Amino acid sequence: MKVYITITATLLLTAILGGHGSSQDNGNDCLGGGCYLPPERGLFRCLASISRYFYNSTAQECQFFVYGGCQGTENNFETLDECQSACNNC
């Protein structure tokens, strides 16, 4: 009986949460939290100077930053359009 209840509860939660662990699955990086990570230039030895965009969750908009070329976070987009498509509904 306990096994039946456990399986039923698991299936019910999966159905309610859409199988993603969140009820806010809107198909973008918000689900994984990437849009809420701080932008990181990269390690000190990364000397590139690459124009990128990140989502500023406080300002609720995508903003420009300079990326060093290695490491960093998922909140790092090549274009403003890419950033807006991934994060504007966060």
Side-chain half-sphere exposure of 21, counting CA atoms within 13 A: 4
Q: All domains of the chain, ordered by start, with CATH?
A: 28-87 (4.10.410.10)
pLDDT in tens, 28-66: 556 578 999 998 887 777 889 999 999 999 999 999 999
For 2, 23, 29, 34, 83, the CA distances from 74, given in Å and listed in that order, are 41, 21, 9, 5, 11
Residue 60 has what pLDDT?
A: 94
Q: Between these two residues, 31 and 88, which has the higher pLDDT value?
A: 88
What's the CA gap between 56 and 63, in Å, rounded?
7
Tokens representing 1?
């009986």
